A and B are shown apart, each in its own frame.
Chain A
Amino acid sequence: AQRVTQPEKLLSVFKGAPVELKCNYSYSGSPELFWYVQYSRQRLQLLLRHISRESIKGFTADLNKGETSFHLKKPFAQEEDSAMYYCALRGDSGNTPLVFGKGTRLSVIA
């Protein structure tokens, strides 16, 4: 079964401080991992995906298969990063949907 765990409901950091949003997953095959972000009063949007290996808005995430983790990191948080962040997993068979974690609300304090 696919499962995504985000242990923190809320994470508050000061502006300029490093951020790490934790995500662990459970899946027997080779999943594809994503981070989605939802800013206040906006729709859910893709932030990044592990196969792209890119940095978006200063955020990066590395898939660690040994630890089954896909933590989202940013070295210096900005106020505009305040949002709801969802980690999501997609299985490797056919046309499978995304399974989401419960989300972590990031609050960056000035």
Chain B
Amino acid sequence: GAVVSQHPSRVICKSGTSVKIECRSLDFQATTMFWYRQFPKQSLMLMATSNEGSKATYEQGVEKDKFLINHASLTLSTLTVTSAHPEDSSFYICSARSTVGANVLTFGAGSRLTVL
């Protein structure tokens, strides 16, 4: 079945640094990927929709200059948290929809970011 890989699974960084999270579709091509954020004991909140070859669409309240999304190929989308602050600490999850088949999303295992 479809597999989505996220890397790194855990990252700890100092305040002010930037962190890049990769989301790869391993055995299928994904024209669209979605980035979610999950706070402890809360639901997944959609951050942005990443479209291959075009600019990402950000949800209201999500700073596009802070959360840079690049979807340069059909198998890779990256989320860069720029100038990270402790409040950016969270669980970031990507999901991808295959170019072939039904409208089912496959999720990555998530990346836990801790900003010190």
Chain A residues within 8 Å of B, Cβ to Cβ = 32, 34, 36, 42-46, 49, 86, 90, 95, 97-103
Question: Which A residues touch B105, using CB under 8 A?
Answer: 46, 98
Task: Please report whether the interface of chain A is mostly helix, strand, loop or mixed according to DSSP.
Answer: strand
A43 touches B44 (CB 8 A): no
A97 touches B46 (CB 8 A): yes
Question: Which A residues touch B93, using CB under 8 A?
Answer: 43-44
Interface size class of B (residues with CB under 8 A): 20 to 34
Extra contacts besides A90-B103, A98-B46, A100-B43 (14): CB < 8 Å: A34-B104, A36-B107, A43-B108, A43-B109, A44-B44, A46-B104, A46-B105, A46-B106, A95-B49, A97-B46, A98-B34, A98-B105, A100-B36, A103-B43
Question: Which A residues touch B77, using CB under 8 A?
Answer: none
For the complex, give the distance between the alpha carbons of A95 and B97 in Å.
Answer: 9
Chain B residues within 8 Å of A, Cβ to Cβ = 31-32, 34, 36, 42-46, 49, 51, 93, 95, 97, 103-110
A86 touches B109 (CB 8 A): no
CB distance from B91 to the nearest CB of A (A): 11
Question: Which A residues touch B43, using CB under 8 A?
Answer: 86, 100-103
